[in-house]
Each structure stands twice: as structure tokens, then as C-alpha cells.
A = this chain, B = another copy of it.
């Protein structure tokens, strides 16, 4: 029996042996959410060192959870895809998320604010359908933050691709949103609705887009578990 094994035949223990190592669940979450390339994974798990990320990906490959291969569209670039067993982990990730959203103190959650993570998740879940049928640019400004963490742009391309920039991409901006990181995170997590914190957000630009923000801004997959405070 390997050291580090639990030595139990129970399937719970066997699964935990594989999945309950540092960063693994968070990494799988990022893959379930759709990231496939090394540097995309890094953006979703920014505090994980690249060597550990690389190591975990190999372990997951050996375990049959991840398969590695050239990207379909861009050969020469490696992609990490979930296998069937990997996709089945979605139920575990969901169980974690639902439990976490329900039972972890909101207080603790809001001590872990991170604008790059927030914007990266917002990018992923933004719903382009209520937006104009052309390139649309939304700028987010967090005045309390410094340097490259202060200003962000979401660029929604005509066919729904969304890009995240932390330097000005140079396009005309349709809507400027100025708020603080905590408020924006509360909205994303479903702890507040835009209309409830209107006094903490300033809009400039297209008033229609401003007033419909709650519809095109996607929320966290677990937001529905929260009992909307305020």
C-alpha cells in the first residue's frame, strides 16, 4: 500500500485519495467550467504554481480523468480535456459548490476577493443575447484597487465570444461600470441584486445596457443557492 493511501476499499475513500489533494478540486472545477489550455487553467487557479499545476494534470491523466492532446483548431497546442470519468466529476463539484454557498459564512467568502478571478468568471458566464448584435465593450473600474487590477474590459464579439482584457483594447466603450470589488462580487455570487446596490454602482454610457445589467451579466453557477441578503 502506498504511503498517502487510506488503505480502504470503500469507494468514498478511493475517490478521496485521488481528489482530496491540494488544489485538485479547484483545478477540476476550472476544467468542468470549460478551460482546457494550460494558461487558461492558470487564470482560473492563479495561486497554484505552474509546476504543481503540471504535476496535477499528469496525475489526473494517469487516473483517467484528463486526456491530453493537440487542440482541434490549433494543432501544435496542447489541450487538456476531461474524459468521461472526468465529466462525471461534475456532480462532486456541484455538491461542493452547493454546500459551500449554503454553509460557508458570507463573511469568510468576502475576505477572498480577487478581481482577476471575478472578471475571469464573469467573462465565462456573460450572456451576450440581450446585448446589441455587434461588438460591445463594457469597462469595469474598481477605484479602490491599484495598477493592473483596477481597470478591466469585457469585449463581446458579434458571435458571442467574450474576451477579458486588463489593458485598454482600444475599442469604443459602450458602458462604463464603476463600483467596488465587494459589491461586484456580491452580485456575482447572488448575494445581492443590481437594483439593491444601485447606490454603490455608477454607470456611464448606454442607459439601456445599464438598466438591463442583471440580465446579461451571468451569475455564479451557485448563486441560486443563496438567500439573497440585504
Contacts and interface: CB of A to CB of B under 8 A. Distances in A.
Interface of A: 1, 5-16, 18-26, 29, 47, 64, 85, 88-89, 91-104, 108-114, 117-118, 121, 185, 189, 220, 222, 225
A13 B103 CA distance: 13
A9 B89 contact: no
Given A7-B114, A20-B25, A185-B9, A99 B104 contact: no
Contacts of A47: 6-8
A97 B11 contact: yes
Contact of A10 (B23, B98, B121): B121
B92 A95 contact: yes
Contacts of A101: 11
A1 B111 contact: yes
Contacts of A88: 99, 102-103
A10 B99 contact: no
Nearest to A24: B20
Contacts of A98: 11, 91
A32 to B, nearest CB: 9
A11 B109 contact: yes
Nearest to A5: B112
Contact of A14 (B20, B64, B91, B100): B100
Contact of A117 (B8, B103, B110): B8
A22 to B, nearest CB: 7
